[in-house]
Structures are given as C-alpha cells and as structure tokens.
C-alpha cells in the first residue's frame, strides 16, 4: 500500500497540507463526540435503559471492532514486509492478503459459535466476550515480533490472531443489532438500528484517519519501521473504555423475558437450520438481500479505494482522502434511510441501492480510468524535476536494479512520478525495463469530482445497509434471532462482500480482460440478489418482534 515513493522529488501542494489539517480536525471532532457519549453514559442524569444509552454503548463497541478489523487490511503491505522474508517480494503481499481474507472467511463460523451463545446465555455477555477477543487479538498483532526475530512463527501467530478477529466480528454484529432492535419501539426500529449500521463505515473512517495521521506525524520511514504498530496498540485503550461501558449495560428485555419464562432455545443451531420454516428464511435473507448488499458495500468502500490506488495509480494520500471525504459526507444517510424504511418498508430502499449500483458502476469506474490516464493529459508546459537515481543489488546475484524517478508537475495542478527501472547485468550489460507512472496527484476539480463519485457509491451503501439490521431482526423469532440473522449477514458480507477486492482483482488479471472486467463480479451478484429480492421478499414490516 505504501509502495515505493520518492519523497525527495515530491512537492506537496498547499491544499494537501490543508487537507491533512482538516482530517486532523475531523478526527479530533469525532473523538470529542465519542468522549461526550462516554461522559453522557456515565452521567447519572440519564434514565436507565435510555435507548440512546443503549445505542451509544452498542455502537461504540461495534465501531471499535470494525476499526480493529480494518486496520489490518489497510496496512497489508507493511505487515507483509514485517512477517515474511525480505526476498519474498509479491508473494509476501499475497500471503498477507490471504491472512486478511481468512478473517472474512471465518466470520460465518463466528456467527454460528457466538450466535448460539447469544441465544443461550444472552446478548450482553456474548458481545462483551467478542469485544474482548477482538481487542485482545488486535493489541497482540501490534506486539508480534518480525520475521527477522522469530521466523515463520510471526505469520503463523498473526494468522491465528486474525482468525480470532474474524470469529469475534462474526459474533459481534448480530448481537449489537439484535440488542438495539429489541430495545427499540416498533415504529423506530429502522432508525435506531441504523446507528449500529454507521459503525462499519465509521470504523473504516477511524482506521484510515489513525493511519494517515500516524504516518504524517512519524514520517514514512519510521511508520514502516515501527509506527505501523501504533494503530494496533491504540485499540486496547478503546476496548477498555468500551468494555467498561458494556459491563454497565442491562440484558435485552425480550431475552430477559424469554429467560424468565424458561423459553430460551435449548439448541439454537438445530432450531435455526433444521427447521424448514426458519431455514427457508435464512436462505431468502442471504440470496434476496445480504448477498447483494454485501457486494454493494465492499465495492463502494473497498474496491473503489483499491482501484484508485492500484489500477489508477493514485497517490497514497489522495486515494485515502477521497474516501475519507466520501465517507464523511455520506454517513448521515445511513440514519436517513434507516428512518425512511420505518415509513415505507425496507425492501425497496435496499433493492434500489442494488439497482443503481448495477447501472452506474461501470460508467463511474470508466471515469476514474479516463481522468487518471496520463496519456490523455496535456503535457505542454509540464515541469520535470531532475531524476532521482537509486541503485540496488539483487539479492543472491551480482546484478543490480537501477531506478530513475522523475517528478512531473502539469499546468493543471496534476502531478505524478515517472519511474524507470533498468537491470544492470554483470554479464550482459544494461537491460532497459518498462517505464511506469505512480503517485498521481489529481488537480483540485478532478479530486472533488472523484469525491462526488465515491460519495455516490457510499450513498448506495447507505441505501442497502441502513435498513438491513431491522430487516433481518424482523425475519426471525427472539429465541433464535442472534444465530439466524448472523449467518446470512456474515455470508453475505464476509464472503460475497469481503471477497470483492480479491475476486474482482483476480478477474481483471485474466487474459483478455480489461481493468473494468472485475466489476462483473459485484454487478452479477447484485443482479441475482435484485431479482430474488424483487420476486420473493415481502415489503411488510413485522410490527412485533417480541415472540
């Protein structure tokens, strides 16, 4: 992710520095809001079981879990360098991404393990446990010694911790959504659960913010060396606060009632999946809603960033700032669509988000490609810096790599680095390699155009994701709700959604494919889900979930 950057040739535009300051302010404001929530929670002026207290406490923990889950992916390249031998090259990244993907794949198993626990012993203690597991494993990833110190034990330990993270997340979300929904009045279930829905996006925002700020404060070298551990270690502080808050929470009233009446499920897994009436709803939730919702979510928030950085070759900061602005503008819409779904039903809002994604993804990504294509840029009056030269010995042989980097600034304000890597062979002389362009910085109007396009994609995310917690909660009865809703959610999001960057990148690498070919995966899955949802889903809301 950090790739090779020639800092010395890079002229940082003034507006870039201003953006860093704004991100700092946004981040500090968010921290202030969180601090206020904590203060309000601890204050005795709030009545017990106040719904906002329930939402605040649930959301804070869920937000931290998302933060923990995402920092690993955002730091994949650096972690790859730390965990694997120095000469592993690209395979280090692939292996690190495989470890990252493992976290997604085990999410449905976490849903089964912790969902069952939540239906047996209660929501409160189960998602307290998931929070401890998530926070503990994140903190420990920050302490893992490098490959140079402990060899292959390093990646193995990280893989184990990553699996624990995935299991914990699989248990957390269903618990938080169920807990809030079971406290919410029937006509505001969409509105109240939508606050939980904002946490996934805010968790990503927080992780990107912490990484960008830490890197800018420490500098690229110190961050790559040891600073990358800070975002992981910071997690423990957030988790301690969240555990304290959750310890003070009460059990869900519906579950407490069920427990008092002795109606708690004896075997939630069997009742969820061995009972045809319930299992058919699990399948419907997966194929008619969460599958399409998952790919829309991960395309808008993850594939978009990966595409801008790896395919369009945008600068590290530019690609993240575009996403941060898009998230900042779009996040309120989770609550707006959640509340709207209380009035008009959940179905059509979610399906409209899928339809718009199917229609607009390819045109949007075509604009990304066109506007970052340096061959279409006006190079007259471009300023070229003196090339920065670097020579590196290739490990194991006497040949070396000769890198020349020229920084180019265009009249429009755009800039990029032109890189040429030649191989110097002791036996056969110089072998010129292909030139490539990296670290593109966009001119201001294009930058904001991209922010608009990312905003639109995240708006679609808010449409599909805002109402889904209420939708899932209403599909299943209280005694097996945690188990039943968690599985389709995590297959839809963890598997179909989580694999979007991986599968889309894989498709785009096939011979004969174009950079946009990868989009056929989210478009195809969303189309299937749209058809199934349109034909089979009901738009009716379940008014009483107290069953």
DSSP 122: -
Q: Tell me the window of 32-40, 213-221, 327-335, 476-484 that interacts with another protein (CB under 8 A).
A: 476-484
Cβ atoms of 421 and 293 closer than 8 Å? no
Q: State the nearest-atom distance from the C-beta of 536 to another protein, in Å.
A: 5
Q: State the nearest-atom distance from the C-beta of 102 to another protein, in Å.
A: 9
Please select the residue that binds another protein; options are 43, 375, 434, 544, rule is CB under 8 A. Answer: 544
> Closer CB to another protein, residue 136 or residue 488?
488
Long-range contacts of 74-81 (CB under 8 A, 24+ apart): 74/1, 74/207, 74/208, 74/211, 75/1, 75/211, 75/228, 75/231, 76/1, 76/100, 77/1, 77/2, 77/3, 78/1, 78/2, 78/223, 78/224, 78/228, 79/158, 79/228, 81/224
Residue 431: how many other CB atoms lie within 10 Å: 11
Structure tokens at 262: 């002795």
Determine if 475 is a binding residue for another protein (CB under 8 A).
Answer: yes
> Closer CB to another protein, residue 294 or residue 326?
294
Residue 522 vs residues 155, 284, 495, 515, 537: alpha-carbon distances, Å: 31, 19, 12, 14, 20
Determine if 512 is a binding residue for another protein (CB under 8 A).
Answer: no
Rounded to 5 degrees, φ, ψ at 388 are -95, 125
> Closer CB to another protein, residue 416 or residue 476?
476
Q: State the nearest-atom distance from the C-beta of 485 to another protein, in Å.
A: 10
Determine if 295 is a binding residue for another protein (CB under 8 A).
Answer: no
Determine if 504 is a binding residue for another protein (CB under 8 A).
Answer: no
Determine if 93 is a binding residue for another protein (CB under 8 A).
Answer: no
Cβ atoms of 308 and 514 closer than 8 Å? no
Cβ atoms of 123 and 473 closer than 8 Å? no
H or E element in which residue 51 lies = helix 51-74
Determine if 91 is a binding residue for another protein (CB under 8 A).
Answer: yes
Q: State the nearest-atom distance from the C-beta of 97 to another protein, in Å.
A: 10
Q: State the nearest-atom distance from the C-beta of 481 to another protein, in Å.
A: 8
Please select the residue that binds another protein; options are 21, 48, 266, 276, rule is CB under 8 A. Answer: 276
> Closer CB to another protein, residue 234 or residue 545?
545
Exposure of 221 by Cβ count < 10 A (0-12 exposed, 13-18 middle, 19+ buried)? exposed
Burial 319-353 (b: 16+ CB within 10 A, else e): bbbbbbbbbbebbebbbebbbbbbeebbbbbbbeb
> Closer CB to another protein, residue 97 or residue 160?
97
Taking the C-alpha atoms of residue 40 and residue 528, their distance in angstroms, rounded to an integer, is 45
Determine if 277 is a binding residue for another protein (CB under 8 A).
Answer: yes
Determine if 523 is a binding residue for another protein (CB under 8 A).
Answer: no
Determine if 482 is a binding residue for another protein (CB under 8 A).
Answer: no
Structure tokens at 226: 């040891």
Determine if 83 is a binding residue for another protein (CB under 8 A).
Answer: no
Taking the C-alpha atoms of residue 58 and residue 496, their distance in angstroms, rounded to an integer, is 26
Q: State the nearest-atom distance from the C-beta of 186 to another protein, in Å.
A: 12
Please select the residue that binds another protein; options are 287, 333, 447, 465, rule is CB under 8 A. Answer: 287
> Closer CB to another protein, residue 93 or residue 233?
93
Q: State the nearest-atom distance from the C-beta of 111 to another protein, in Å.
A: 14
Structure tokens at 527: 């189309």
DSSP-assigned beta bridge partners for residue 41: none
Tokens 């090339």 correspond to: 387
> Closer CB to another protein, residue 80 or residue 209?
80
Please select the residue that binds another protein; options are 128, 245, 286, 304, rule is CB under 8 A. Answer: 286
Residue 177: how many other CB atoms lie within 10 Å: 26
Instruction: Give the total of residues touching another protein (CB under 8 A).
Output: 36
Taking the C-alpha atoms of residue 290 and residue 462, their distance in angstroms, rounded to an integer, is 13
Q: Tell me the window of 126-134, 153-161, 338-346, 503-511 that interacts with another protein (CB under 8 A).
A: 503-511
Determine if 152 is a binding residue for another protein (CB under 8 A).
Answer: no
| Cα first-last separation, the chain | 48
Q: Tell me the window of 332-340, 355-363, 409-417, 506-514 that interacts with another protein (CB under 8 A).
A: 506-514
Please select the residue that binds another protein; options are 11, 247, 359, 506, rule is CB under 8 A. Answer: 506
Residues in contact with another protein by the rule CB under 8 A: 91, 94, 98, 101, 105, 276-277, 280-281, 283-284, 286-287, 474-477, 481, 491, 495, 499, 502-503, 506, 510-511, 531-532, 535-536, 538, 540, 542, 544-545, 547
């Amino acid at each position: 992710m950090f790739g090779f950057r020639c800092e010395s040739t890079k002229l940082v535009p003034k507006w870039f520095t201003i953006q860093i300051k704004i991100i700092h302010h946004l981040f500090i404001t968010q921290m202030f809001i969180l601090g206020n929530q904590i203060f309000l929670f601890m204050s005795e002026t709030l009545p017990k079981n106040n719904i906002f207290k329930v939402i605040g406490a649930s959301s804070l923990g869920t937000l931290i879990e998302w933060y923990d889950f995402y920092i690993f992916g955002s730091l994949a390249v650096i972690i790859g360098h730390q965990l694997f031998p120095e000469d592993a090259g690209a395979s280090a990244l692939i292996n690190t991404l495989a470890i990252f993907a493992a976290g997604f794949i085990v999410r449905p198993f976490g849903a089964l393990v912790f969902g069952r626990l939540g239906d047996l012993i209660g929501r409160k203690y189960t998602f307290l446990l998931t929070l401890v597991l998530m926070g503990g494993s994140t903190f420990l990833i920050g302490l893992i010694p490098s490959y140079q110190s402990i060899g292959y034990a390093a990646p193995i330990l990280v893989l184990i911790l990553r699996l624990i993270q995935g299991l914990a997340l699989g248990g957390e979300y269903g618990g938080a959504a169920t807990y809030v929904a079971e406290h919410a009045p029937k006509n505001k279930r969409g509105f109240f659960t939508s606050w939980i829905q904002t946490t996934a996006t805010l968790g990503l925002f927080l992780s990107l913010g912490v990484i960008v700020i830490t890197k800018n404060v420490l500098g690229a070298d110190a961050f790559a060396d040891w600073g990358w551990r800070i975002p992981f270690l910071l997690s423990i502080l957030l988790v301690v606060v969240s555990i304290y808050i959750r310890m003070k929470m009460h059990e869900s009233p519906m579950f407490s009632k069920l427990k008092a009446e002795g109606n708690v499920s004896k075997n939630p897994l069997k009742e969820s999946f061995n009972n045809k009436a319930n299992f058919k709803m699990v399948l419907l939730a997966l194929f008619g809603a969460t599958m399409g919702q998952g790919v829309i979510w991960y395309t808008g928030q993850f594939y978009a960033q990966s595409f801008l950085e790896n395919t369009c070759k945008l600068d590290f900061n530019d690609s993240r700032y575009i996403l941060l602005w898009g998230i900042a503008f779009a996040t309120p819409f989770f609550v707006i669509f959640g509340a709207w779904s209380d009035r008009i039903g959940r179905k059509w809002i979610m399906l409209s988000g899928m339809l718009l994604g199917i229609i607009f993804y390819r045109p949007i990504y075509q604009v990304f490609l066109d506007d970052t294509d340096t061959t279409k840029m006006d190079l007259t009056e471009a300023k070229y810096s003196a090339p920065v030269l670097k020579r590196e010995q290739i490990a194991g042989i006497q040949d070396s790599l000769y890198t020349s980097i020229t920084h180019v600034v265009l009249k429009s304000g755009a800039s990029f680095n032109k890189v040429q890597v030649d191989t110097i062979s002791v036996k056969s002389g110089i072998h010129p390699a292909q030139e490539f362009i990296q670290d593109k910085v966009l001119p201001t109007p294009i930058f904001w155009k991209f922010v608009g396009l990312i905003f639109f994609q995240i708006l679609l995310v808010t449409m599909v994701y805002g109402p889904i917690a209420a939708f899932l909660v209403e599909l299943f009865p209280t005694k097996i709700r945690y188990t039943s809703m968690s599985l389709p959610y995590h297959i839809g999001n963890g598997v179909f959604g989580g694999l979007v960057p991986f599968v889309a990148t894989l498709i785009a690498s096939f011979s004969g494919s174009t950079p946009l070919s990868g989009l056929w995966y989210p478009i195809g899955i969303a189309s299937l889900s749209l058809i199934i949802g349109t034909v089979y889903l009901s738009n009716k809301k379940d008014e009483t979930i107290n069953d």
